[in-house]
Structure 1
């Protein structure tokens, strides 16, 4: 691993350590994941600023719905990208898994739900820290790949399975998968990409920051 990757990975690990020490004292069984929508990320994200705000709202509302209806017996992480929602975490039974999916599907602006909840015991703090470390490694490697735009990807890791979300071309999808599979600690890669054409990518890159982007129809 070259010096640049080591430096970025060190930064990622330091963030994980800070978050771990902060969250361990205050986070309950429900974890709601999300991308930062404020600041500079809006300008470089391939989603419109309105879609980014929708995703943030979806994560908050979906998390509240799960917390209100399923309480502390579940540990669910909600990640929304371009209004498609990924559910990861653990539930005590199949009924709760189905119920969580139904609750999220009923949230406004949600276009689809990928329910990856596992009927398992809640992982230990060590397991969650290992997943956070893997996510940091993946982000560092994507950042180091000169033929990829790391900000185009959202990364979630649960129990060694790394989920990749984003609006990417087929080339970017294949290349990112190649990169992530080589990351230590990644046991499986699940791609939840919205595939766009190279022409659409050119339009997105040439559009003014924050301007609405044309969405191609399947």
Structure 2
């Protein structure tokens, strides 16, 4: 059985990241906070995960200062996904421009729409749909659901992650038939099976090393 790299995240009242490397070369990063720890499997390197989080916070802050609309920012492996609603086309272009210049943004995918905010009720429905999708794809053996980031905006589902074509097809096909999903947009980074195996093996080796060391 493949074992993937573990990243311990401690989520607290103050959710801004403060990372502390615990063991050199073991691939485990402790992020301090107040609440309980979660283990996340991921094909990204530890530093990339933390960098994505920082980029997401910076991009979100800049986007909010640029528009009176509702903009959500999701970052995965340097790819920035913008979703939400803005009041005008000019405002849409302005948000896209300023976010594209944020440090460590490698690619910008804008799915912003021009129009009124969908509102709290629709966002609540989107959150519930995201939870349902995550629960559903957790039943898929390959890829692991932890490798897929799910974003829902106004019943449109965006899928992110580093996956093979076969993995992307398996997830997308399953999500498309879930009640409430109006459209599926793939924002995957497609890699070969060989590359996926190398990434999985790298994290497996790092995890094995950490398991064999006493803290």
Same fold (TM over 0.5): yes
Match of 2:139 among 104, 123, 144: 144
Match of 1:202 among 189, 192, 197: 197
Counterpart check, 1:124 vs 2:119: yes
Shift of 1:40: 4.5
Task: Report if the CA contact (8 A) 2:87-2:115 is conserved.
Answer: yes
Partner of 1:53: 50
Match of 1:190 among 177, 180, 185: 185
Counterpart Cα distance in 1 of 2:135 and 2:100: 32
Residues 8-47 of structure 1 mapped to structure 2, 5 A cutoff? 38=31, 40-42=38-40, 44-47=41-44
Query: Displaced runs of 4+ in structure 1, greater than 4 A?
Result: 37-42
Shift of 1:85: 0.3
Which structure has greater strand proportion?
2
Task: Report if the CA contact (8 A) 1:51-1:82 is conserved.
Answer: yes
Shift of 1:64: 1.5
TM-score between both structures, scaled by the size of structure 2: 0.76
Counterpart check, 1:105 vs 2:105: no
Task: Report if the CA contact (8 A) 1:139-1:150 is conserved.
Answer: yes
> For the aligned residues, what is the CA RMSD?
1.7
Task: Report if the CA contact (8 A) 1:55-1:81 is conserved.
Answer: yes
Partner of 2:59: 62
Task: Report if the CA contact (8 A) 2:43-2:203 is conserved.
Answer: no
Partner of 2:79: 84
What SS is found at the alignment partner of 1:118?
A: strand
Counterpart Cα distance in 2 of 1:106 and 1:143: 35
What SS is found at the alignment partner of 2:197?
A: helix
Structure 1: runs of 5+ lacking an equivalent: 1-36, 212-218
Structure 2: runs of 5+ lacking an equivalent: 1-29, 32-36, 207-215
Match of 1:180 among 175, 199, 212: 175
